[in-house]
């Protein structure tokens, strides 16, 4: 048995088994992707949470006198947008905690159990952001185009800024969702990495 560069080599009759340490490009790359994901989801959270527009609209005319009504569009009026803000906010908090765990967690790890917890939490956050982004996208489509069958009128022809900011938040959230998928794949790879064995035949 020989040890070199932090790897263990076991020599059999005509086979060399190399057991690698749980290190590599996957572990080095995950923190970078988490940082980008954090900025994407926190941007989506802030933009949607601050999304508000007030306009004065003419709703009727009596003789030659227009009747004006001041209306305000904000994310709190739509439960889907509230869920969107909560989901992306929780995803941002999760990735911030995971970044801390990546840097200091080795001192508290027990037989790789930390990797299992992180992989499970990553999967849960992925589902949460996916649900929030999908619900908000549905309401955004309804706001832009309405639904003639249900007689729901569109609002984006009146609240342009509100809809544009909402679209920006959605784009940031879907970018974060894509990065979360990548993080989940890498978390699973990292989870199995300590058990990976590369076999090579010695002539």
Ramachandran angles phi, psi of 155, nearest 5°: -120, -15
* d(C-alpha 172, C-alpha 37), whole Å: 9
Predicted local distance difference test score (pLDDT) of residue 11: 47
Predicted local distance difference test score (pLDDT) of residue 125: 94
The predicted-structure confidence for 34-80, as pLDDT tens digits, reads as follows: 999 999 999 999 999 999 888 877 666 776 777 777 878 888 988 99
Please say whether the beta carbons of 163 and 141 come within 8 A. no
| Percentage of the residues of the chain whose pLDDT score is greater than 70 | 72
Predicted local distance difference test score (pLDDT) of residue 152: 81
Q: Where are the alpha helices (DSSP H) in 50-159?
A: 79-104, 113-145
Structure tokens at 76: 């709190």
Please say whether the beta carbons of 87 and 131 come within 8 A. yes
* pLDDT value at 176 more than 50: yes
The predicted-structure confidence for 83-128, as pLDDT tens digits, reads as follows: 999 999 999 999 998 888 777 755 555 455 567 778 888 999 999 9
């Amino acid at each position: 048995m020989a040890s070199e560069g932090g790897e263990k080599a076991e020599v059999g009759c005509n086979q060399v088994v190399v057991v690698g340490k749980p290190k590599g490009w996957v572990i080095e790359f995950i923190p970078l992707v988490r940082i980008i994901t954090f900025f994407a989801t926190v941007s989506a959270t802030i933009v949607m949470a601050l999304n508000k527009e007030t306009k004065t609209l003419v709703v009727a005319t009596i003789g030659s006198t227009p009747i004006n009504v001041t209306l305000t569009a904000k994310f709190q009026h739509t439960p889907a947008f509230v869920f969107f803000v909560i989901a992306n906010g929780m995803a941002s908090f999760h990735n911030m905690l995971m970044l801390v765990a990546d840097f200091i967690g080795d001192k508290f790890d027990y037989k790789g159990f930390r990797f299992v917890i992180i992989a499970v939490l990553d999967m849960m956050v992925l589902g949460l952001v996916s649900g929030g982004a999908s619900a908000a996208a549905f309401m955004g489509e309804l706001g832009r185009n309405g639904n003639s069958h249900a007689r729901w009128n569109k609002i984006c022809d009146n609240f342009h800024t509100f809809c544009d900011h909402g679209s920006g938040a959605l784009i940031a959230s879907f970018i974060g969702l894509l990065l979360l998928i990548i993080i989940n794949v890498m978390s699973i790879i990292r989870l199995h990495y300590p058990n990976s064995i590369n076999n090579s035949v010695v002539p």
